[in-house]
Amino acid sequence: MEEPDAGAFAFTGDWRDYAPIAFTNLLLTIVTLGVYRFWATTRTRRYLWSRTRFIDEPLEWTGTGMELFIGFLLVLALFGIPLLFLQFGMQTLIFNGQARLAFSLAFLAFAMIFYLSGVARFRMLRYRLSRTWWHGIRGGSDEKGWAYGWSYVWRYVVAAFSLYLLIPWAMMSLWNDRWSAMSFGPFPFRAKAGPGAVFKRFLLFYLLPLALFVLLTIAGIGMREGETALDPAAAAMMGFLFLFIYAGLGVIALVFYAKFFRVAVGGMSLSGLHFHFRARSRDWLMLILGDIALVVLTLGIGAIFLSYRHWKFFITHLDATGEISLSELTQSTTAAPRQGEGLADAFDIGAI
């Protein structure tokens, strides 16, 4: 298939077309005390996928609300209820003087939740690819994500022992592992991005808190011994630094993530296709500021359009170059999961 002059991906949706779906979803979710949200998610995805074109054909979402609901119930029964009993059990042990045993159980519970959050990320991607169709072909993976969960744990443990300097390596290697385990039709995804390209921006985020600590210490010197009030200049500096901590660190984290996502997607390929993501830090910042303005100015109601905005942002900046042969694009033989992304839902992972 020849590369078209325009971008390979295009989004043709309109918020005015999506508004009836969004408001209906909101009303039914309120009336059903939240139960309808699984079907609301499915309706939203069907609209967004149907308005997304890849080369010459729109995508199709084939997942159902019942799959998401069953996935949620399974996670609630297998993990949610046991963790609830574990929490009450730990409190009982503490009241009975078994604090050491209680803290051991708390550590095990934390480790289990951390492991499951890694599994959730893998299974969420696997489920979404298995329900995304293009030219009648779907994606998926034969792996279940249990091994990826352990990889998620040990990589972040190694990163922690390095005083978190290896966080970019952990993030990028996990991204590569997750996508390299996926396929679309008969073709496996390849993900080979390296962490070196994002390390400078990570160092900025990593070292800034240390610099702020030094400046705050210097400002604290302005408080003279025996006085209850700060020197005006020192107080102004501390006020500025506290403001910068809340606003500046968020912006720097955004700058790092923008670079990370661009590099990670840029390292991916599928058969003869190579993917690219063009959004820069300014684009991400405008997206976040727009989200905040939308939610604040509408007193929270505008939050129902965030999924639409995020999907449009993602597709608008995603591109692919190269060729793929439709004659070789046969149906995927990977196993399709029968439940939705219950784990990801439980850990609040994924924006759409």
Tokens 């994924």 belong to 350
Q: For residue 49, what pLDDT is reported?
A: 96
Listing DSSP states for 57-101 in one string gives EE-EE---HHHHHHHHHHHIIIIIHHHHHHHHHHHHHHHTT-HHH
Say if CB 268 and CB 190 are below 8 A apart: yes
Q: Tell me, what amino acid is at 152?
A: Y
pLDDT tens digit sequence for 243-260: 767 777 888 889 999 999
pLDDT at 231 over 70: no
Give the whole-angstrom CA distance, residue 294 versus residue 302. 5
C-alpha of 146 from chain center: 19
Give the mean model confidence (pLDDT) for residues 22-46.
95
Backbone phi and psi for residue 270, each to the nearest 5 degrees, phi listed first: -140, 110
Q: For residue 233, what pLDDT is reported?
A: 67
Q: What's the token pair of residue 200? A: 């400078």
pLDDT tens digit sequence for 166-218: 999 999 999 999 999 999 999 999 999 999 999 989 998 888 777 777 776 77
Q: Tell me, what amino acid is at 209?
A: P
Helix (H, G, I), strand (E, B) or coil at 335: coil
Tokens 């190579």 belong to 274
Say if CB 181 and CB 122 are below 8 A apart: yes
Contacts of 73 by beta carbon, 8 Å cutoff, 6+ apart: 342
Q: For residue 351, what pLDDT is reported?
A: 47
Q: E strands, the chain, where? A: 9-11, 52-54, 57-58, 60-61, 132-134, 137-140, 183-184, 187-191, 268-270, 273-277, 318-322
What residues are paired with 277 via a beta bridge? 318
pLDDT at 52 over 90: yes
The CA-based angle 278-280-282, given to 5 degrees, is 140
Give the whole-angstrom CA distance, residue 256 versus residue 278. 14
The model's pTM? 0.86
Q: For residue 3, what pLDDT is reported?
A: 45
Say if CB 318 and CB 265 are below 8 A apart: yes
Say if CB 253 and CB 205 are below 8 A apart: yes
Label residue 137 by pLDDT band (50, 70, 90). very high
pLDDT tens digit sequence for 290-316: 999 999 999 999 999 999 999 999 999
Q: Tell me, what amino acid is at 271?
A: S
Residue count of the chain: 352
pLDDT at 4 over 50: no
Instruction: Quote the mean pLDDT of the chain.
Output: 86
